[in-house]
Amino acid sequence: MKENGELQLLYGKYIDNQLSAEEIRNLLISLADISEQDLNQLTSGVLFEPIAIAENNEQEDQSLQKILTGIKLKQQIPVRPFQRKLYTWLSSAAAAVLIFGSLIYFTKEDSLEKQAAVADLQPGKNKAILTLGNGNHITLDDAASGELATQGGVQISKTKEGIVYRVTQGARTSNEQNTIETPKGAQYMLILPDESKVWLNAGSSLKYPVSFTAAKNRMVTLTGEAYFEVTKEPAHPFIVRTDKQEVQVLGTHFNISSYSDEPATLTTLLEGSVRVSKTGTEKIIKPGEQAIADIRGIQTTAVNVEEVMAWKNGYFRFNDEKIESIMRKIARWYDVEVEFKGEISQEEYNGKISRFKNIAQVLDMLSSTNTVHFKIEGRRILVIK
């Protein structure tokens, strides 16, 4: 149809957060009038969900509710009442957050974007520190690609992927332990001597032997969060130890989150099977399940794997998550301190946004619910209900 070009332009500006409140109203009204085919083509299958709009303007709220109802009927999605939660959906064709129908704007002395720019708050990068068994430290983001060291016939190299351990001919059994550590605001990937792959999230560390040669078990120790793709060696189980549990696998894909500031250690299985043990209690979990180890012992539950793996895939993804939990993730990734002022919001938030967005965009997404607000003071984020 003739105006589709204009709609596509508006829609693109909307995704890039470049529309005024009046332009968003006009876009809503236009979308309510186009055909289902045009709507699907324009949005690439994105589902529109309501969030709180114009909270103190009942007439406008009812009007926009009717418009969104019309849009949802075209998509054959049941209409739900407005909720004071944030809903965002990411189009497969657009790596930008979609907050549809948000007409809430806050007047601030300085915008969050300006505050963040002044403080130079950047998203995390690929960086880590490698500590060799002899105590030498290598800052990996400063090191050039190529061979870094050789230990007991094991060659350690930096590649585009990360750190790679290669066992050369004549490699001998070694009791040396190496440690790789990602500070806050960082992530890194390494390939262990058995060719198992490990991705470390921000504020994490992994301690592991230089060589698994002749070892009965392939034992590593984790703090923080990591995703593992373990090479299958049935005769040599792979064991991951944390301060709360032990995970044993033969060859599988799984994620462990074991931060000291979180109430539980979470082990999520994507492929194969793993055995989680804690003080005499054991649980075997299947793909799509999560083991929760805390002071009560170990419980298991079904989970959304995409949500768990969002960090590795470059996103924040929140599903009925409270602001305290969300801010711990933001603090680790952007390397900031978080302080709550006054009462802490008990709202639950749902959303998805790239981890490589400016921190102001992430905070704006949350504050658009009108349930929480933020102020940036240097590297400190004030959270205000």
Find the DSSP H helices in 198-278: none
Contacts of 54 (CB under 8 A, 6+ apart): 60, 61, 64, 103, 104
| pLDDT mean over 263-279 | 95
Amino acid (one-letter) located at 260: S
Strands 197-200 and 238-241: unpaired
- When pLDDT is cut at 50, 70 and 90, the band that residue 117 belongs to is confident
Which tens digits make up the pLDDT trace of 205-219?
999 999 887 788 999
- Per-residue pLDDT at 187 exceeds 70: yes
**DSSP 8-state code for residue 34:** S
- Per-residue pLDDT at 12 exceeds 80: no
> In whole angstroms, what is the distance from residue 158 CA to residue 145 CA?
5
14/358: higher pLDDT = 358
Domains contained in the chain, CATH given? 4-105 (no CATH), 113-121+322-384 (3.55.50.30), 125-308 (2.60.120.1440)
> In whole angstroms, what is the distance from residue 179 CA to residue 182 CA?
10
| pLDDT mean over 287-292 | 96
pLDDT reported for residue 82: 28
pLDDT reported for residue 113: 81
Task: Please name which of 86, 119, 65 lies closest in space to residue 372, comparing C-alpha atoms.
Answer: 86
- When pLDDT is cut at 50, 70 and 90, the band that residue 17 belongs to is low
Strands 238-241 and 218-229: parallel
Contact between 130 and 140 (Cβ < 8 Å):
yes
Which tens digits make up the pLDDT trace of 297-348?
999 999 999 999 999 999 999 989 999 999 999 999 999 999 999 889 889 9
**Buried/exposed code over 185-209 (b: 16+ C-beta within 10 A; e: otherwise):** bbbbbbbbbbebbbbbbbbbbbbbb
To which residue do tokens 């957050």 refer? 97
Which range of 33-42, 44-53, 119-128 scores highest in mean pLDDT? It is 119-128
CA R_g for the chain: 24
Average model confidence (pLDDT) across the chain:
80
| pLDDT mean over 158-186 | 86
Considering the entire predicted model, what is its pTM?
A: 0.72
78/381: higher pLDDT = 381
> In whole angstroms, what is the distance from residue 125 CA to residue 120 CA?
14
Give the chain's length.
385
93/360: higher pLDDT = 360
Q: CA 304, 201, 219 angle in degrees (round to 5)?
A: 95
Contact between 225 and 257 (Cβ < 8 Å):
yes
Contacts of 235 (CB under 8 A, 6+ apart): none
Task: Please name which of 369, 352, 307 lies closest in space to residue 89, comparing C-alpha atoms.
Answer: 352
Find the DSSP H helices in 200-272: none
Q: How far is CA 317 from the centre of its chain?
A: 6
